[in-house]
Structure 1
Amino acid sequence: MSSTSRAFNLLHKWPIPSSKVSMWSKRKTLGIISGTNGTRGASVMFCHKLHSSTCEVTQDGSKRPPVVHSHNPKEEKSLSNNQSVGAFQKLPMVMPAIDILSSAQRKARNVTPTKGIANIAKRERNRAAKQLDTLMKELAVPLRTYVEIFPNKKFLHPYECSLIELTFGEGNYEKVLGRVDSLRKRLISVGKEHASLCAKSTTKREAEERLSEGRKKLQEAFNQGMNALDDLLHVAKSLRCMPVIDPYLPTLCLVGAPNVGKSSLVRILSSGKPEVCNYPFTTRGVLMGHIMLNYERFQVTDTPGLLRRREDERNNIERLTLAVLSHLPTAVLYVHDLSGDCGTTSNDQFSIYKDIKEKYGDKLWLDVVSKCDLLEPSASAHVLDDLDRYKLFGPEGAIPVSVTSGLGVEELKAKVYQLLLSQMTRLPEKEES
């Protein structure tokens, strides 16, 4: 018996539960029966794809229960999105509202009536209905694309979800997308209504008047909701500018009070070039750089400074720092400034440090005392308590560093390199795509 006959017999031996066979299955079946697949292996491979209600056919002809796989694209997409960051860089380019309107009007005017209509009134109402339908679609389709492609927050990485909430406020991202979708629905409703009126016109003049009225109503509806598109454009620009942190690459996160010298350390450690000024909260977002040490590539993040206050009193700028620490696998470089130059007292820095160390002490950790060239040499040999010792030397094991004089910089780079090598062992394994 030929391979084609065996395949044909196998296909008819096992009942298929549904009578509806997809076009793909039909094409494959025809290909096997006609011998286009050529080999017995190809025939059996196709049989292996078919699931009966009771069993599956293997290459040796034996039976076994079918293995059911999930083929839900939305589910697979959501699971994939939930495993990694970088969704913001995949956002579509949002066209300004005025450009969408101008393009739609131009394309609608170029629509001609269906050929072969001799009657003038019928030809004009056909043209009017088609132009309004085109105008409606050219306005509504981009909006539908935006609503579908912008990510749902519940499928985002927790870090990116936090960035959205802290940047735009709780629920505002969803409100913008909801307004865009409402505008789309309104345009479709108005467009269909007036296109239907055009199609019912009895004279050429009536069709022209209804076309003019339909254009006016669609433009009015679009103008009333175009602020939603402007807001979406702002959202897209803001999200696309946010730094991408690779969770599979060792990352160093600089933490501390405002103006303690974190940005200066980022500049000497990495390729990042954050603004360095002598006032608090220079860093108002998460800034990224990369470190190249011994031909190894690492990430470094400069985060906004933390003030001494309760968790529920922190502003969104401070919460960006906590989002990085909470949701990303990072090592911590905690920066202390004991010179009195940063605007946050040593007492307050000590309190902030203890709070953060208690919450995130499970992370790999390195302490640095910056601006050590501004510190007065201490002659005290006796330290009364932890706070007194902190005011003089910083935490135990802290590295004294001065960016101005270069003191301690090389030691810091060596310690950072060792810290990031250790961090590498803690990273999640990257899934094969």
Structure 2
Amino acid sequence: MQPQPFSAIKKVHGAKELLDIAFYNASKVSVSFSSQDTPLEKAKKREEARVRAASKILESRLMKVVKSFPSLENLHPFYREMCDVLVGNQTLKMYLASLEGAAGVIRRIASEAISKIRRSQTPRDAAKARIEAYGRMTSMVKKLDDRLAFLERARINLAKMPSINPEEPTIVVAGYPNTGKSTIVRAASTAKPE
């Protein structure tokens, strides 16, 4: 029997975690300079590399979340219905789409900042353009915090769903204690209930 489709969903980090990861890694980016580079050229290269790294990390992390959730259209109707009952398909689709949209906005913020950095006249202007880009990226990701938290809760709830073969006939016997459930199961099948 194959595992249920929601077991492969990766952990969804919160906004603060995503920003910490992106900006920490961006600050550690190494840039190679030539001996002829002026302080302005060095600053431009360094700030551009930092903006590229931060945006790439944020973009890839957001898209990883989107891609780790299975496509609802491709799911078996049983799993689609269970997902709708547990987390709500419309809300799930909307939140995943907003993450995908945010990744595009972050890409645009980075390209605008990079062109601003390339046009900067002083090292301070280049640093200012990077800080501005970081601020806009931070604002964008913080707006997603509630959605990221919802997706993490959805991941946890969906991962608890049992693996079943929806094509195989299944009977559920449920009811209050001491009402004869075990007797029915014993009479109708070869199973030995506890």
**TM bin (shorter chain):** 0.7 to 0.9
- For residue 18 of structure 2, what is the aligned residue in structure 1? 100
- For residue 68 of structure 2, what is the aligned residue in structure 1? 149
- For residue 111 of structure 1, what is the aligned residue in structure 2? 29
Cα distance in 1 for residues equivalent to 2:102 and 2:146 = 10
Displacement of 1:114 in angstroms is 2.3
| Deviation per residue, 1:13-32 (Å, 9 max, x gap) | xxxxxxxxxxxxxxxxxxxx
TM-score (norm 1): 0.41
Residue 415 of structure 1 aligns to which amino acid in structure 2?
A
Residue 42 of structure 2 aligns to which amino acid in structure 1?
R
Indicate whether 1:90 and 2:8 are aligned. yes
Cα distance in 2 for residues equivalent to 1:96 and 1:416 = 50
Aligned residues: 191
CA RMSD of aligned residues (A): 2.6
Alignment counterpart, residue 145 of structure 2, candidates 226, 236, 239: 226
Cα distance in 1 for residues equivalent to 2:10 and 2:159 = 10
Residue 110 of structure 2 aligns to which amino acid in structure 1?
G
Alignment counterpart, residue 415 of structure 1, candidates 169, 183, 187: 187
| Deviation per residue, 1:210-249 (Å, 9 max, x gap) | 1222211211121122322122112111111222223477
Contact kept in structure 2, 1:113 and 1:124, CA below 8 Å: no
Unaligned runs of 5+ in 2: none
Larger radius of gyration: 1
Cα distance in 1 for residues equivalent to 2:91 and 2:123 = 48
Cα distance in 1 for residues equivalent to 2:87 and 2:185 = 36
Displacement of 1:132 in angstroms is 0.6
- For residue 215 of structure 1, what is the aligned residue in structure 2? 134
Indicate whether 1:204 and 2:119 are aligned. no
Higher relative contact order (CA 8 A, sep 6+): 2
Indicate whether 1:175 and 2:94 are aligned. yes
Cα distance in 2 for residues equivalent to 1:99 and 1:90 = 21
Displacement of 1:173 in angstroms is 1.6
SS in 2 for 1:207: helix
Cα distance in 2 for residues equivalent to 1:205 and 1:176 = 38
- For residue 162 of structure 2, what is the aligned residue in structure 1? 243
Displacement of 1:152 in angstroms is 1.2
SS in 1 for 2:190: helix
| Deviation per residue, 1:336-374 (Å, 9 max, x gap) | xxxxxxxxxxxxxxxxxxxxxxxxxxxxxxxxxx1xxxx
Contact kept in structure 1, 2:4 and 2:161, CA below 8 Å: no
104-113 or 195-204, larger mean C-alpha shift? 195-204
Displacement of 1:194 in angstroms is 0.8
Residue 418 of structure 1 aligns to which amino acid in structure 2?
T
Alignment counterpart, residue 171 of structure 2, candidates 236, 252, 265: 252
SS in 1 for 2:105: helix
Residue 188 of structure 1 aligns to which amino acid in structure 2?
R
Displacement of 1:188 in angstroms is 1.2
SS in 2 for 1:140: helix
Cα distance in 1 for residues equivalent to 2:76 and 2:98 = 24
- For residue 54 of structure 2, what is the aligned residue in structure 1? 135
Cα distance in 2 for residues equivalent to 1:136 and 1:100 = 11
Unaligned runs of 5+ in 1: 1-83, 266-369, 371-400, 404-408, 421-433
Cα distance in 2 for residues equivalent to 1:109 and 1:217 = 17
Cα distance in 2 for residues equivalent to 1:186 and 1:109 = 21
| Deviation per residue, 1:173-194 (Å, 9 max, x gap) | 2111111112111111112211
SS in 1 for 2:11: coil
Indicate whether 1:186 and 2:105 are aligned. yes
Residue 33 of structure 2 aligns to which amino acid in structure 1?
K
SS in 2 for 1:114: coil
Contact kept in structure 1, 2:9 and 2:155, CA below 8 Å: yes
Contact kept in structure 2, 1:85 and 1:160, CA below 8 Å: no
Displacement of 1:155 in angstroms is 0.4
Contact kept in structure 1, 2:113 and 2:129, CA below 8 Å: yes
Cα distance in 1 for residues equivalent to 2:88 and 2:169 = 30
Displacement of 1:253 in angstroms is 0.7
- Identity, % of aligned pairs? 18
